[in-house]
Structure 1
Amino acid sequence: MPVSVLLVDDEPLVRAGLRVLLEAQPDIDVVGEAADGASVVPLVRRLRPDVVAMDVRMPLLDGIDATRAVLRAFPEDPPKILVITTFENDEYVYEALRAGADGFLLKRARPAEIVNAVRLIAAGDSLLFPAALRSLAAEYGNAQARKGLERAGLTDRESEVLRLMARGLTNAEIAARLVVSPETVKSHVSGVLAKLGARDRTQAVIAAYESGFVAPN
């Protein structure tokens, strides 16, 4: 089945460009559009998209609050949320990731990067956490985050997998690096998420940086 995508951006030109690009892919289907965050929950309820590609700065309801609203409305089976931004060091982006978004995309990204981002998010992989966001994560760090990761009791291999996740590696790339099977990596990732109480890979990576377990550089 194609990956179904809901586009949410207050700029019609951006939505049109993304629609043309994504619908040219045989494995991606744009199922709807919205011009503000307030429309997201009703559209997700009606269309049930796999991915919501959403601008982080919008009128009525921004991408942060819209992300929270989607996760509250669909706690068991939420769509993947890909926030779209102009600047990678935008604190709105980081707040959206902390709120539960699965990744972010720069509006100036190349077409192939945009398509790849949608596919990665839909598959449950994380996107690369750039230096700007790593620095923001370190600034948000606190003693509570450090204690939380210490209490998680990660094994040595789970710790190694988390560090590689924080570098933006996919399961396949981690498997190649550690010379193990992708299924083994998937099992370790699941263990990391369970022990950290993280909803997904992005939340685990945020915990890694905020706790100081992984350094921004």
Structure 2
Amino acid sequence: MVSRPAKPITVALIDDYDVVLVGLAHMFDAYRDRVVVAEIDANEPLSDPIDVVMYDSFAQPESDHHEIRQLVANPRARQTVVYTWNFHPELIAYARGHGVRGYLSKTLPARELVAALEAVHAGEEVISEPPRRTQLSMALDWPGRREGITDRESEILALITQGKNNAEVAALTYLSPNTIKSYNRAIYRKIGVSSRTQAVVWGMSNGFTPDHHRIDHWLGGP
């Protein structure tokens, strides 16, 4: 049983999408005595050390581990955790091997997420159980949610909007090409389009274009 720290831990939320960051930050609203969200918009410089950097892998190419390596190496980040639905063993092994102290499931309720962050802050390694597809916390948000797009569909549509083809999306998400095709059909039906080009245009107009500058800035880029 990890004892609670004497003062709230500071957490920086790292993601390219505003709606994802705001939704994640809202999960901590009832736990302000234990967690202080010190940074959402990383376009603003922050020199103070952060207890835990929480990297939300929404629509990130998870086979490209550059972001994880850089976050772990960043002197402002005392500990780094990954927040994701993708629990492929290769991804977990890579993250652990490069110093990530937490690999946390997006299906965790807020109270368990806060406890996991406190445990990481205390020096423990926390790896969530591989998630079953259950309803996420109502505090979370993602692009397209109001149109009935699920969290997984949203991440796939974000990759499509970035110009990834089916084979690339399958490789990045560790899903089969046929599974991606099934997701595509469901997405097209929900947003009322009939082609990939139309889906990209819809995505660009509805919050699926990432602000890569946000993560680049936090990692020390321009």
TM-score bin, normalised by smaller chain: 0.3 to 0.5
Greater length-normalized contact order (CA 8 Å, ≥ 6 residues apart)? 2
Structure having the higher helix fraction is 1
- TM-score calculated relative to the size of structure 1: 0.47
